[in-house]
Amino acid sequence: MVSTEERMRILMMIQEGKISAAEGARLIEALDDLSAPTSPGPQPSRGFESGKKPRYLRVMVTDTDTGKTRVNVRLPVSLINSGVRMGARFAPEIEGLDMEDLNAWLNSGEIGQIVDIFDEEDGEHVEVFLE
């Protein structure tokens, strides 16, 4: 666990407006990850790591107005691969998505953030990670 002092420092930065609530949550999560014992599962990475095969696809949608996370879904890549194969049979061209490109991306060995979109119209921040 993160020390109380470190948490308070992050909360003060949020209160002072130096960082958003979402950024503060990410900082606390990152500190928890650093102080936690090594776990068998991979953690989200902001950069790319090569050599490891991604095991999970995480989709996070954050409300830009409140900073609250609306969606935080973590799916096994093997389930995504199966879904892509089944979906390709029924919908050969899903609106702008090339199934072969998606499958190649999932099997590329890259781990990290692959999508980072701010939708100002809907007030959402969408992030997709391979973990």
- Domain shared by 76 and 128, yes or no: yes
Chain segment 97-128, per-residue pLDDT in tens: 566 777 777 777 778 888 888 888 888 999 88
pTM exceeding 0.85: no
Number of domains in the chain: 2
Angle at 33 between CA 29 and CA 38, to 5 degrees: 160
- Look up the domain containing 17 and give its range: 1-38
Output the CA–CA distances (angstroms, integers) from residue 50 to 90, 105, 131, in the order listed.
33, 12, 11
Residue 43 lies in a domain: no
Residues 28 and 69 reside in one and the same domain: no
Beta bridge partners of 58: 74, 129
Residue 121 within a domain: yes
SS3 content of the chain, % helix, strand, coil (to 5): 35, 25, 35
pLDDT in tens, 39-94: 443 444 444 555 677 888 889 999 988 989 999 999 888 787 777 666 666 665 55
Q: Which two tokens stand for residue 129?
A: 């990670």
Asked if residues 128 and 111 have their Cβ atoms less than 8 Å apart, the reply is: no
